Structure 1
């Protein structure tokens, strides 16, 4: 489950769930100059997102996270 300080991870997973995203699109849209902001890496490490070739998709665990958080899954 997400910690109280992880709303950006939830936002990212929800954003990817809305429509198919390429890895390049995700990197462009979610880039940051802050080295401490590791939203993409944290979402991958926790199993909410995965990269398949050029696409980024939401995993079953990510969809469960959205559902239990009351967020949109599609």
Structure 2
């Protein structure tokens, strides 16, 4: 799994911003579409999705720092 993570962690900072924005927009679109399929979209779900993205980014940065210390 580390070779896969190593490739993912080598993405430039400009691309990270686009990836994070895309994931957040994807979560927002899911919340906006839900009322059309007899479900309820809620703002708290959107905030939870965004918090999950932020947590993933922070964990990714932590892993990157730990990996750079090992190598």
Q: TM-score by structure 1 length?
A: 0.35
Return the structure number with greater strand share.
Answer: 1
Q: TM-score by structure 2 length?
A: 0.37
Return the structure number with greater helix share.
Answer: 2
